[in-house]
């Protein structure tokens, strides 16, 4: 039974996409034992992935070198007898713990100077592997293998806790009398990924007029945005921002009929719960990190300045989002709605 340690990514959406790698490893090694080295926040997501045995918690914050802590953790992991480590981040520090753990095969793409730390170094061909999820899944294969096609990649699928779902609906006083549209108006990356609150509010008014309830999802950081949307939208909108844990958001998103979302971690969670999605792209592109779902659609403007991949608009106008009007998003939902007559 192969024992594999995966050094996971630092963003929620990337961690969800990494489930495709865990699935691909299980396809290749049905009895593999897969552990994931990652920050504590990723536990609620990893626990919903049946392919993962356990989370190995990284005790350091994002960006910390913590050489001594990485050495101690690596030495402690030697007893696990891992045969391979797959390092998803391309930083120097992310390769240290598998090296200190004495894992014999350490697989990763060429990144910061880490020769010796990585002994199964892969070149990254961006043309043959344009999508992040393809790059992840390719690391489950041998170096000489053909790159995985997008059609062959298994889509993430998070498990749902039905008991927790029912508890949350009751405790938060949520209505299930009408279909629910879930909005994810935040994006941890920055404002260049956030559709304007007034656009979300306009869409909420249109959907409540069509018989929907609207639930707003987000962290405590997203509360000002969600509060503004709720204020402008009026009745029929429930603001859940800052009121749920990550595992709660997974279970509640799974109750929505539609998810309208920025390119964010919650977009990937919605995709991995099988929701119908309209995903809105500003500074990023679905050509790199699309929602991995057959029921997802993406909307974006092909402006000369986009995608720029910046956190804030370098030109100061945010036209890629501001000029993406409510009607374009609403048309995608209307086209996908069943006939309720």
DSSP 24-79: HHHHH-TT-EEEEEE-GGGHHHHTT-TT--EEEE--S-TT---HHHHHHHHHHHGG
Bridge-partner residues for 107, per DSSP?
A: 86, 120
Of all helices (H) and strands (E), which one includes residue 6? strand 3-7
The answer to whether the beta carbons of residues 94 and 87 sit under 8 Å apart is yes
Bridge-partner residues for 56, per DSSP?
A: 37
Q: What is the pLDDT of residue 41?
A: 93
Q: What is the pLDDT of residue 341?
A: 33
Q: What is the pLDDT of residue 339?
A: 46
Tell whether omega for the bond before 307 is within 30 degrees of 0, i.e. cis: yes
Instruction: Enumerate residues 6+ apart whose C-beta is below 8 A from 257.
Output: 179, 180, 181, 212, 275, 276
Instruction: Enumerate residues 6+ apart whose C-beta is below 8 A from 292.
Output: 17, 20, 133, 153, 155, 156, 268, 271, 272
Burial of residue 176 (CB within 10 Å: 0-12, 13-18, 19+) is exposed
Q: What is the pLDDT of residue 338?
A: 57
Q: Residues in the chain with pLDDT < 50?
A: 339-341
Q: What is the pLDDT of residue 337?
A: 64
Q: What is the pLDDT of residue 80?
A: 96
The answer to whether the beta carbons of residues 70 and 96 sit under 8 Å apart is yes
Q: What is the pLDDT of residue 214?
A: 98
Distance CA 51, CA 44 (A): 14
Specify the pTM: 0.94
Q: What is the pLDDT of residue 1?
A: 73
Q: What is the token pair recorded at 229?
A: 């949307």
């Amino acid at each position: 039974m192969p024992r594999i340690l995966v050094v996971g990514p630092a963003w929620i959406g990337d961690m969800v996409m990494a489930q495709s790698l865990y699935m691909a490893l299980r396809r290749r090694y049905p009895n593999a034992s897969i552990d994931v080295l990652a920050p504590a926040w990723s536990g609620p997501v990893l626990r919903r992935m049946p392919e993962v045995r356990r989370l190995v918690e990284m005790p350091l914050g994002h960006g910390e070198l913590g050489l001594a802590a990485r050495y101690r953790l690596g030495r402690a992991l030697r007893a696990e007898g891992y045969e391979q480590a797959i390092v998803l981040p391309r930083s120097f520090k992310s390769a240290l713990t598998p090296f200190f753990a004495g894992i014999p095969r350490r697989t990763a793409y060429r990144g910061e100077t880490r020769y010796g730390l990585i002994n199964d170094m892969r070149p990254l061909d961006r043309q043959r592997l344009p999508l992040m999820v393809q790059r992840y899944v390719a690391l489950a294969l041998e170096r000489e293998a053909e790159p995985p096609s997008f059609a062959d990649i298994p889509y993430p699928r998070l498990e749902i806790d039905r008991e927790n779902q029912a508890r949350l609906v009751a405790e938060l006083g949520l209505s299930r009398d009408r279909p629910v549209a879930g909005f994810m108006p935040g994006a941890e990356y920055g404002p260049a990924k956030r559709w304007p609150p007034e656009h979300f509010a306009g869409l909420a008014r249109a959907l409540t007029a069509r018989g929907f309830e609207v639930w707003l999802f987000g962290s405590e950081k997203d509360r000002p945005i969600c509060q503004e949307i709720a204020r402008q939208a009026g009745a029929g909108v429930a603001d859940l921002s800052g009121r749920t844990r990550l595992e709660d958001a997974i279970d509640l998103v799974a109750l929505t009929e539609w998810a309208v979302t920025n390119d964010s971690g919650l977009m990937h969670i919605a995709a991995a719960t099988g929701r119908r999605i309209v995903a809105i792209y500003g500074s990023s592109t679905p050509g790199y990190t699309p929602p991995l779902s057959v029921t997802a659609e993406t909307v974006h403007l092909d402006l000369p300045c986009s995608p720029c991949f910046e956190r804030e608009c370098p030109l100061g106008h945010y036209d890629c989002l501001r000029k993406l009007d409510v009607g374009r998003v609403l048309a995608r939902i209307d086209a996908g709605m069943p006939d309720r007559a």
